[in-house]
Amino acid sequence: MTAYLLRRLLSLCLSLIAASLVIFLVMEMVPGDPASFMMGLNADPAAVAALRSQLGLDAPLPLRYLGWVAGLLQGDFGVSYTYRVPVSELIAERVVISLPLTLYALTLSTLIAFPAGIIAAARRNSFADFSVMGATQFGVAIPNFWFAMILVLIFSINLRWMSAGGFPGWEAGFGSAMKALTLPAIALALPQASILARVMRSSLIDTLEEDFMRTARAKGLSRSQALWRHALRNALIPVLTIIGLQFSFLLAGGIIIENVFYLPGLGRLVFQAITQRDLIVVRSVVILLVFAVIVVTFLVDLAYAAVDPRLRRHRQ
């Protein structure tokens, strides 16, 4: 198991190095000059050149890459071109909104999907199964930004139960902050719950048809007992994969929902940085999200071994 962990950690490091190189080169190929954008169209070329030198944009490409990576290893993400404050401060201000929103949405998605998928699998080809599958098809088909606007129309404009947008800050109280995140979390959770429920149903149906399940039934276990004691745990491996992917997607892909609800999270920060040509912010946030994706994938892989003892024996 130790050798396996070391191999996975090496793979994680190599993936991060490759991702950092790709992200840096892609940002460099984006048309437009941040210094020219900051100074304006009619700026004096000498002033633009001076600003480029001040920002370090005139250094050779390899040196700039190595300097950026060296800063990342020390926790220094650089200074924002637009806000003139450390990027780490901007990220810290926004991640305290995006991360709780992601966890909130993922929790809602899991709480909805698990019972729905289990019921659909346990009562295959019944009215309950058809109802769950129909609802999940509906959930997958609905764009989350459209669903977000419907939620605002119903709960904010008509019923006036929730705020239509904005975030009061955690200093306003945990309840107030979570209330502001509820509608965005529901909008994010619905499509993910639909996908997860379908995967849960499919995986559980496949497991119920395995030989060991027939053996369990032959030993006197009812279908329900066999499902809860044996089938559910074995069906979790593909489900864990989807949960890991959903966490990464929700953290990185909440930009539209954050803009619909005017939430000052990472997604909105990236959107504003792109429009302002603040490429160092874009670069830093993207590498942070890539790091989160890789780490979550690593943790999910470890969870496989906890769920399935056969994988532990194989990796030892």
CA distances from 58 to 49, 51, 85, 188 (A): 8, 9, 20, 42
**What does the pLDDT read at residue 184?**
92
**What does the pLDDT read at residue 41?**
64
What does residue 160 show for φ and ψ, rounded to 5 degrees?
A: 60, 40
Query: Distance between CA 246 and CA 192 in Å, rounded?
Result: 7
What does residue 86 show for φ and ψ, rounded to 5 degrees?
A: -55, 135
**What does the pLDDT read at residue 76?**
83
Q: List all residues 6 or more positions away from 116 whose beta carbon is below 8 Å from its beta carbon.
A: 132, 135, 136, 193, 197, 200, 201
**Placement of tokens 């945990």 in the chain:** 174
**What does the pLDDT read at residue 130?**
92
Q: Nearest 5°: CA angle at 18, between 17 and 19? A: 90
Query: Distance between CA 283 and CA 191 in Å, rounded?
Result: 28
**What does the pLDDT read at residue 307?**
58
Indicate the SS3 state at residue 62: helix
CA distances from 212 to 65, 158, 224, 309 (A): 54, 54, 15, 15
pLDDT in tens, 250-263: 877 677 888 888 88
Q: Nearest 5°: CA angle at 224, between 220 and 226? A: 55
Strand partners, 79: 86
The pTM (predicted TM-score) of the whole model is: 0.80
Query: Distance between CA 265 and CA 145 in Å, rounded?
Result: 16
Strand partners, 86: 79
Residue stretches of the chain with pLDDT short of 50: 315-316
Which tokens go with 168? 């009061």
DSSP codes joined into one string, 22-61: HHHHHHHHSSS-HHHHHH-TT--HHHHHHHHHHHTTTS-H
**Placement of tokens 């900051």 in the chain:** 38
